[in-house]
Structures are given as C-alpha cells and as structure tokens.
Structure 1
Amino acid sequence: MRLSTVILPIHRWSEGQKVWRRAEDLGFHAAYTYDHLSWRSFREEPWFGAVPTLTAAATATERIRLGTLVTSPNFRHPVTLAKELITVDDVSGGRLTVGIGAGGVGFDATAMGQDAWSPKERADRFGEFLPLLDKLLTQDSTTEQGEHYAAVEARNVPGCVQRPRVPFYVAATGPRGLRLAAEHGQGWVTYGDPRGPADVPVEQAPAVIAAQMAKLTAACEAQGRDVAELEKVLLQGSTAERPLSSLDAFVDWAGRYRDLGITEVVIHWPVPDSVFENDLAVFERIATEGLAQLG
C-alpha cells in the first residue's frame, strides 16, 4: 500500500513551497491538490489554481509524484487541459498523475455563467471529455467533433514525458464512470458513498468501498481487462471515520482498506480551523511510521 497526501491550493507560494517540500521529505508517494475554482467552506479564503500550483511544486521538488484529485469538465476543455498537462509532466520530469472525474454541483458548476448540469449531462459530457483527452495526450494532432467537445488539428508536440501518456486515476462509482475507468484508467478513485459519505456509520464504511470495488471488477471484466492493472485509491476526509486522530487509528483504518484491495490511501494535509484540522505532529508521524506499523 502507498501513502499520499492532498495539499489544498490555499497557500501563497512563499509558504506553499515549504509544504510541498515537506511532503517530499516525509516520504509520501504523491502529493495531490484539488482542481476547483473555489471549494465549500474555503470559498471566502485564499484559493489558487491547481495547474500553476503543480507546476511550481514540480520545480520545488525532485522525487514525489504530483497530481490533481480531481479535475473535471466543470470549467475545463480537453484541448486546453491537454496542453497544460503535457507542460506539467515535462516540468516535473514525468511525475504527473491526473485524477479526473465527472464533476459535481459545487461552485465550479456555475462560475462560468452556465446552468448546473444534471447528473445525466455530467455523465454524457464526461463520456466525451475523457476519451478525447486520452487522444489529445497520445497523438501529435487530433481532430474530432462530438456533441459537447471538439478538437480541430489540435497539436500536442512533443507529447508527454510518460508514455503513452500521463496516467489517469478516474473517480467513479456509477456504471458509466466505472466503464470509463476500465477503458482509460490506470487507477480508480473513491471517497466513500457519493450520496453522503459522512452519513454512513463508521462500521459500515468499508462495506461501501467493497461494494464499489466489486462493481469496478465487473466493469473491468466486461472490457476484458484485469482489475489488478488499476491502482485503487481511497481519498480520506469525507466519511465519519477519523484515521488521523492517532497513529494507531491510522494503522487500523489503513489495514481494513488494504485488506479490501485498496492500493493507495490519500490523507489531507492539516489545515487549522477547518474541516481538515489535525495535529501536525501526529500527521507527520503517520507519514513516517504509518505504513511500517501496518506491516
């Protein structure tokens, strides 16, 4: 099992670079950031762009993988996003992972003046967005016309450092999203029950993930793909579970999900006076000792 972190894009870079470097020094496998224009309780607080933040983080670090968790079509277009991702992959020397999903109904959904999309429209758009992004990142030139997205001789030379392209970690729980994960993903991401992860009793939370993984397995089988080829990523922070309260709590929590087949757990870097408030000393101990204690 791998241990990674999410660093929210809330820091002016004079301080933010220290956090990203510290994440590398602590030995995290990857450091991700949210790709939103603003987010929930942080809406009135500082919030910077994900792609520039990752580019800066790429120059401030040497080994740690970097990524979005997650990018969505809410305010992105595949043509421009592909160019940005190729650039970050190049600056980082091939350390970029793209967490990507269909998006939701938060502030991003209407910030550009559009009406919020229905669940069906989000799924329809994601069904075009992801395959087109795949092509844009693997071809020198792409021309395609869809119902929602188009590319006309869109050039992406020299392409990604990672071949055939940067890995996609697809966030999905429904049948259409899981099919896309099976078709295009190198990994799959979940944060619990999308209908309300915090409402699920703690003792029932692992069963939710087990059921989702069974559906992922079925989706892979339908595509003739071995589910073992995909990383299974659990993003902590949305459920009622509290694995960052102590090292022992983390070990118990991570062990339960390792036994279910989760291959990477992602914990939020502590943010004081927020939903992600945690003791930094405990967090750093989890980072340096948690997997060793897990055995």
Structure 2
Amino acid sequence: MRLSTVILPVHRWSEGRHIWRRAEDLGFHAAYTYDHLSWRSFRDRPWFGALPTLTAAASVTDRLRLGTLVTSPNFRHPVTLAKELISLDDVSGGRVTLGIGAGGNGFDATVLGQEPWTPKERADRFAEFVRLLDRLLTEDAVTESGTFYSADEARNIPGCVQRPRLSFAVAATGPRGMRLAARYGQAWVTTGDPKLYETGTAVQSVEALRGQVERLGKACAEGGRDVAELDKVLLTGFTPEKNTVLDSLERFVDFAGTHRELGFTEIVVHWPIQDSDFAADQAVFETIATEALGRLG
C-alpha cells in the first residue's frame, strides 16, 4: 500500500514551496492538489491554480509524484488541458498523474456563465472529454468533431515523457464512470459513498466501498481487462470517519489496514490546514507519514 497527501492550493508560493518539499522528505508516494477555481469553505479565502502550483512543485521536488484530485470538464477543454499536461509532465520528468472526474454542481459549474449541466449531460461530457484527452496525449496530431468537444489538427509534439501518456486516475462510483476507469485508467479513485458522509457509520462505509470495488471488477471484466492492473485510490476525509483517522497513528493504521483488505492500494490524506475541515495535529500527521506503512507490514 502507498500513502499520499493532498496539499490544497491555498498557500502563497513563498510558504507553499516548503510544504511540497516537506511532503517529499516525509516519504509520501504522491502529493496531489484540487483542480478547482475555488472550493466550498475556501470560497472567500486564498486559492491558486492547480497546474501552475504543480509546475512550481515539480521545480522543488525530485521523486514525489504530482497530480490533480480531480480535474473535471467544468472549466477545462481537452485541447488546452492536454498542452498544459504535456508541459507539466516534461517539467516534472514524468511524475504526473491526472486525477480526472465528471465534476459536480457548485461554483466551478457556473463560473463561466453556463447553466449547470444535468447529471446525464455531465456523464456524456465526461465520456467524450476522457476519450478526446486520451487521443491528444498519445497522438502527435488530432482532429475530432464531437458533440461537446472538438479538435482541429491539434498538435502535441513531443508528447508526454511517460509513454504512451501520463497516468489517468479516474474518479467514479457509477456504472458509466466505472467503465471509463476500466478502459482508460491506470488507477481508480473514490471518496466513498457521499450519502453516508453525514449520518452513516464506518461499517456502512466499508460495505459501500466493498461494493464499489466489486463493481469496478465487473466493469473491468466486461471490458476484457484485469482489475489488478488498476491502482485503487481512496481519498480520505469524506467517509463517516472524516479526518478523525488522523487523530493518532494507531487509528490510522487500523483504518488503512481495513481498506487494504478491500483492495485499496493507495490512501490519500489531506495536509493539515488549521481552521478548516482538514484541521489535524501536524506532529501526528508527520508520524503517520513516516511510520504508518511500517506498522501495516
């Protein structure tokens, strides 16, 4: 099992550079950031762009994988996103993972002046978005006319450092998203069952996640793919345990062990931010980073 972190893009780089470097020093497998224009309780607080932040992070780290959790079509277009990702992959020396999902309602969904998409349109857009992005990152020139996204001789030379392209970590819980993960993903991402966040129990959450893993396996089997080829990534903080899993090393080890048994290969925890939903003791957090995997055996 791997242990990674999410560093929200809330810090001016004079401070943020030390946090990303510290994440590498602590031995995290990867450090991700949210790809939003603002987010929930941080709406009226500092919030910087994901891809510039990751590019800066690449310049102060050497081994740490870098990525988004997650990028969505809400304010992105595959053609411009592909160019930026290829550049980031080059700057980082091939250390980029693109976490990608359908997105949701909220500020990102309306900031460009559009009406919020229906769930069906969101799913339709996501499928087309992922398919075109896959082509853009693997082919030198792409022309495609889609319902929502098109490209006219889009050039992406020299392509990604990673071959055939950088990794996709597809966030999905429904059947269409699972099929996209099975077809295009090198990893699958979940935050658990959102219906359980407020009033569910840890036991209910484990069973819901077990069901998600089983549905991923079914989608892979139907697509002729071995589910073992995909990493299974759990972004914590959105299950009934919320961030209490960071209260102690022992509690985190128990949580991680339970979810490893479900088949998860990577656990992602939020870098502590005081006065927020992601508040945690920094010393305990760093102890978890350096000792938890050793305790799991």
**Shared fold (TM-score greater than 0.5)?**
yes
TM-score normalised according to structure 1 size: 0.99
- State the distance in 1 between where 2:90 and 2:185 align: 21
C-alpha displacement of 1:270: 0.1
Residue in 1 aligned with 2:245?
Answer: 243
Q: 1:89–1:161: 8 Å Cα contact kept in structure 2?
A: yes
Q: Map residues 218-229 of structure 1 onto 2, 5 A cutoff.
A: 218-229=218-229
TM-score normalised according to structure 2 size: 0.98
Residue in 2 aligned with 1:27?
Answer: 27
Q: Map residues 57-76 of structure 1 onto 2, 5 A cutoff.
A: 57-76=57-76
Q: Deviations over 1:232-281 (max 9, x none)?
A: 00000112212101000000000000011000000000000000000000
- Residue of structure 1 aligned with 2:294, choices 277, 292, 295: 292
- Residue of structure 2 aligned with 1:253, choices 252, 255, 258: 255
Residue in 2 aligned with 1:216?
Answer: 216
Gap regions ≥5 residues in structure 1 = none
Q: 1:3–1:30: 8 Å Cα contact kept in structure 2?
A: yes
Residue in 1 aligned with 2:8?
Answer: 8
Residue in 1 aligned with 2:160?
Answer: 160
After superposition, the CA RMSD in angstroms is 0.7
Q: Tell whether 2:54 aligns with 1:91.
A: no
Q: 1:198–1:238: 8 Å Cα contact kept in structure 2?
A: no
Amino acid at match of 1:62: D
After superposing on structure 2, the runs of 4+ consecutive aligned residues of structure 1 that deviate more than 4 Å are: none
Amino acid at match of 1:54: L
3-state DSSP class of the match of 2:287? helix
Q: Map residues 66-215 of structure 1 onto 2, 5 A cutoff.
A: 66-215=66-215
- State the distance in 1 between where 2:24 and 2:34 align: 18
Q: 2:73–2:125: 8 Å Cα contact kept in structure 1?
A: yes
Q: 1:192–1:208: 8 Å Cα contact kept in structure 2?
A: yes
Q: Tell whether 2:276 aligns with 1:279.
A: no
Q: 1:172–1:189: 8 Å Cα contact kept in structure 2?
A: yes
- State the distance in 2 between where 1:4 and 1:85 align: 20
Q: 1:191–1:197: 8 Å Cα contact kept in structure 2?
A: no
C-alpha displacement of 1:204: 1.4
C-alpha displacement of 1:199: 3.0
Gap regions ≥5 residues in structure 2 = none
C-alpha displacement of 1:196: 4.7
- State the distance in 2 between where 1:197 and 1:130 align: 28
- State the distance in 1 between where 2:167 and 2:272 align: 27
Q: 2:234–2:268: 8 Å Cα contact kept in structure 1?
A: yes
Residue in 2 aligned with 1:264?
Answer: 266
Aligned length: 295
Q: 2:196–2:205: 8 Å Cα contact kept in structure 1?
A: no
- State the distance in 1 between where 2:198 and 2:294 align: 28
- State the distance in 2 between where 1:20 and 1:199 align: 34
Amino acid at match of 1:91: V
3-state DSSP class of the match of 2:246? coil
- State the distance in 2 between where 1:58 and 1:200 align: 38
The 1:196–1:79 alpha-carbon spacing in structure 2 relative to 1, beyond 3 Å, is: farther
C-alpha displacement of 1:200: 1.9
C-alpha displacement of 1:205: 1.1
Amino acid at match of 1:257: H
Q: 1:70–1:98: 8 Å Cα contact kept in structure 2?
A: yes
Q: Deviations over 1:186-207 (max 9, x none)?
A: 0000001134534321221111
Q: Deviations over 1:134-172 (max 9, x none)?
A: 000000000000000000000000000000000000000
Amino acid at match of 1:125: R
